[in-house]
Amino acid sequence: MLNTRDILETIKMIREENLDIRTVTMGISLFDCISDDPARLEQKIYDKITRTAKNLVSVCCELERTYGIPIVNKRISVTPISYVGAGLSPEGFIRLAKVLERAARELGVNFIGGYSAHVQKGEIAGARSLMESIPEALTETSLVCSSINVATTKAGINMDAVREMGEIIKKTAYLTRDKDSIGCAKLVVFANIPEDNPFMAGAVHGIGESDSVINVGVSGPGVVAAAIKEAGACDFSALADTVKKIAFKITRVGQLIAAEASSRLGVPYGIVDLSLAPTPAAGDSVAEILENMGLERTGTHGTTAALALLNDAVKKGGVMASSHVGGLSGAFIPVSEDRGMIDAVKAGTLTLEKLEAMTAVCSVGLDMIAIPGDTEAATISGIIADEISIGVVNNKTTAVRVIPVYGKGVGEVAEFGGLLGYAPIMPLKKDSCADFINRGGRIPAPIHSLRN
């Protein structure tokens, strides 16, 4: 039976606390598009995407009108393109990136992900060519997102790929220097990449997925922050219960939209991703949640413990609300997309080192962090290696999305616009790690990976 109080509470969440569906992402397999004729491959990819997702945006708009719940992004993810175009040259992959861009524009979606490769133990020819093409591909497109998985707990860390990604990020930043190096905002480096993640830039349609699928990413930092504020000076057990209860309600909204989108599109429902994804809007901040717990400012002592409690409680509440929870699921801490994080960086309370510590207990990793444009490629690779090692050793997903902003230094601000927000340039260590990065080879998998 419908409860009037619950209905009014949901309306309040949407109108006053920024509750929304952050993304409905359709995953599409491109394996049946593979062809040894490049022109035929391009046409088949375009046709498959536009045919499968032709009603995605219109159905999402219908759901918004029906339920009054904003759906901020409509997105597509595809099979990692390095597999689909395995025989192509870098120039051939750039042509595929433009095909993805054309399909995304035709459909009216916000982003398309899957310009990706998995290289945790080595690089097939297709992966090598795709990686080489990334700077130009992301410069010549605006909706295409790229992700590279350089490590898993079972395989260890491919340090050759880590070194290459530092150079690729540096080149991408240079080629998009006229837009504050925004190309790097569409490029993420992973350990233990999930194959059902609906969030960009890391969304791919995994090789174990069905031909097409609907994955939904919910959000609601403002709702959680308001609930914690209302709970007042309760103890930690009560605080965790507060977060669990509100996470349950948020996830039920996501479950509803996922099921309805699946039914109307005739596409299987995959997962709901529970991640608390902030925006630059006031009141839509993960940092504000942490500060409502009692921290004077995010980044001060106690921040990691507060984030650990939040992440765990969100997952516990979410899994009770949906039988199919997946993706990343937890709390995101992207600097440029969270006004509270931005303020903490400006105040000097939140540093790169503290962010790295926080990633040991949250969902993703070092995300949307602007660094000086003159940062060496080896230093970027060192940042990647540090973060990826946290994921490998702890058997969790971690990722790095850093943006060396050409022409800008510490204290200046990079402007990305929209949900990507803006970010103060953060300082880095001055000492070199080049000799370490240039050793090459693989860092072996941790001993606890031997579970068979």
For the residues of 214-255, what is the DSSP string, one character each? EEEEEE-HHHHHHHHHHH-S--HHHHHHHHHHHHHHHHHHHH
- Side-chain-side CA neighbours of residue 345 (13 Å): 28
Whether 352 contacts 307, CB under 8 Å: no
How far lies 197's CA from each of 162, 204, 271, in Å?
A: 22, 7, 9
Please tell us whether the domain made up of 25-191 is placed in CATH 3.20.70.20: yes
Q: Measure the CA–CA gap between 116 and 314, rounded to whole angstroms.
A: 29
Domain 217-439 - what CATH class? alpha beta
For 102, the token pair is 């054309």
Whether 381 contacts 144, CB under 8 Å: no
- Listed in sequence order, the residues at least 6 apart from 294 whose beta carbon sits closer than 8 Å to its beta carbon are 302, 306
Instruction: Tell how strand 144-152 and strand 398-405 pair up.
Output: unpaired
Q: Which of 340, 351, 334 is closest to 291 using CA atoms?
A: 340
Whether 149 contacts 365, CB under 8 Å: no
Query: Hey, do 25-191 and 217-439 end up sharing a CATH topology, with the first three levels equal?
Result: yes
Q: Measure the CA–CA gap between 203 and 52, rounded to whole angstroms.
A: 17
- pLDDT confidence of residue 213: 95
Whether 118 contacts 133, CB under 8 Å: no
Q: Which of 336, 331, 244, 238 is closest to 289 using CA atoms?
A: 331
For 193, the token pair is 């990449």
Helix (H) or strand (E) holding 369: strand 366-372
How far lies 150's CA from each of 191, 246, 322, 442, in Å?
A: 6, 35, 31, 10
Q: Which single residue is written with the structure tokens 């995605």? A: 56
- Listed in sequence order, the residues at least 6 apart from 15 whose beta carbon sits closer than 8 Å to its beta carbon are none
pLDDT (tens place) for every residue of the chain, 452 residues total: 445 455 455 555 555 455 778 899 999 999 999 999 999 999 999 999 999 999 999 999 999 888 888 898 999 999 999 999 998 999 999 999 999 999 999 999 999 999 999 999 999 999 999 999 999 999 999 999 999 999 999 999 999 999 999 999 999 999 999 999 999 999 999 999 999 999 888 899 999 999 999 999 988 788 888 899 988 899 999 999 999 999 888 888 888 889 999 999 999 999 988 888 887 777 778 999 999 999 999 999 999 999 999 999 999 988 888 888 888 877 788 888 888 999 999 999 999 999 999 999 987 889 999 999 999 999 999 999 999 999 999 999 999 999 999 999 998 999 988 778 889 999 999 999 999 999 999 999 888 877 76
For 153, the token pair is 């707990």
Q: In the chain, what are the domain boundaries? A: 25-191, 217-439
- pLDDT confidence of residue 343: 92
Ranges of H-type helices in 293-329: 303-321
pTM for this prediction: 0.92
Q: Measure the CA–CA gap between 109 and 103, rounded to whole angstroms.
A: 9
Instruction: Tell how strand 71-78 and strand 111-118 pair up.
Output: parallel
- pLDDT confidence of residue 6: 52
